[in-house]
Structure 1
Amino acid sequence: MKRTFLGGLAALALVAGSFPALAETVEFTVINDSSRALHYFYTTPANEDSWGDDLLGDEGTLEAGYQATATIGDGSDQCVYDFKFVMEDGSELVEPAVDICTLDSYTITD
């Protein structure tokens, strides 16, 4: 009986090792190549209906021509996210279905 239990643990470890890590923190560069400052940047897993917190946080603004590192560490195991950018003039750009697991950078343009 003891052997069966240990064998079961070994099999479980092998199965668990075959899945990608869950809830990873993902970082990528946001490049503001538009003519307007970015005031808010929201994300949500594409399979959810509500936007998360503003990723710019206390930094508040990403000026035109600048770039910053965005970090998504919301505990989700999803790779496909929707992005919402709110510019200084109140205009919004919504970009659906962005694969953050393969994303090195995202450029905002006019």
Structure 2
Amino acid sequence: MRVVGIMLCVFIGIASVGFGGGELKKLPASGKEYDAVTGREIYSNTCIRCHGIDGKGTRGLHLVPLPADLTSPSIQSRLDGSLFKRIHDGKPNTAMGAWRTALSDDEIWDVLAYVRTFRQE
């Protein structure tokens, strides 16, 4: 009987996560390619001021904390969904604002495709 109770709790937990209606953004359908070239253009118009042309952050900028180094392993190892959420929603208590009203979801995915080109070998 105890096993049945545990299985029931696990099932209810899984079902509540699936039907919870949380605020998580849907990730793109697998296989859809986003455009790093378009992403580069958007990055140049919106992100370059803080993150710099090479993604390492603009020198001489006096922001606290400093903008993220987009080439770093700590950024490049993050999941796409996590980085999408950071661009979409911003980062509290930093200069990284939310871009959800200025960029469409597809534009954010394009920027993310470009940011992935900063990955160091």
- Give TM class, smaller chain: 0.3 to 0.5
TM-score, structure 2 length as denominator?
0.34
Higher strand share: 1
TM-score, reference length from structure 1 = 0.36
Name the structure where helix makes up a greater proportion of residues.
2
User: Whose RCO is larger (CA < 8 A, sep 6+)?
Assistant: 1
